[in-house]
């Protein structure tokens, strides 16, 4: 499966990993999203009613951990990371509101259409994420 991200996700990720309290974020992404069959990635709260391109909100590390928002295009085997936020700590926040969820969904669809995406891959040692702009 291919994993992509949009700029909104990248900006939040970069802000968060600079803080000691959120150092585990990168490893959580690697552990959860990489080398898994699509069926395992479909757990979480579906924010749309689609079976072919589900928009999912997923909690990692329990109620005080991180919230991820992502879209999966099942037939194409593509996953799009859209947004992440912690639930606790200095940058912790409640879940985003419905309007923000809707804006993210529209944004990711536009990014897919225009190929304004980053391919997310693992480094050679599998311990770091590499974000490469799609050309």
Q: What is the pLDDT of residues 48-104, one digit of tens each?
A: 989 999 999 999 987 778 999 999 999 999 999 999 999 887 787 877 899 999 999
Calculate ∠ Cα 24-107-129, nearest 5°: 30
Contacts of 100 (CB under 8 A, 6+ apart): none
What pTM was estimated for this model as a whole? 0.94
Edge-first strand order for the sheet with 45-46 is 45-46, 55-60, 66-73, 78-86, 2-5, 118-122, 129-133
Return the pLDDT at 128.
96
Q: Does domain 2-133 have CATH number 3.40.50.620?
A: no
Provide the residue ranges of all domains of the chain, joining segments of one domain with +.
2-133
């Amino acid at each position: 499966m291919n994993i992509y991200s949009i700029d909104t996700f990248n900006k939040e990720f970069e802000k968060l990993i600079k803080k000691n309290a959120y150092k585990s974020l990168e490893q959580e992404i690697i552990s959860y999203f990489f080398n898994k069959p699509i069926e395992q990635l479909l757990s979480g709260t579906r924010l749309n009613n689609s079976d072919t391109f589900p928009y999912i909100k997923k909690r990692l590390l329990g109620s005080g951990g991180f919230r991820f928002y992502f879209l999966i295009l099942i037939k194409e085997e593509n996953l799009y990371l859209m947004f992440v936020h912690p639930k606790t700590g200095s940058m912790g926040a409640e879940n985003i509101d419905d309007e923000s969820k809707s804006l993210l969904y529209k944004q990711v669809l536009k990014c897919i259409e225009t190929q304004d995406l980053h391919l997310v891959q693992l480094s050679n040692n599998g311990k770091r994420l590499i974000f490469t702009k799609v050309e």
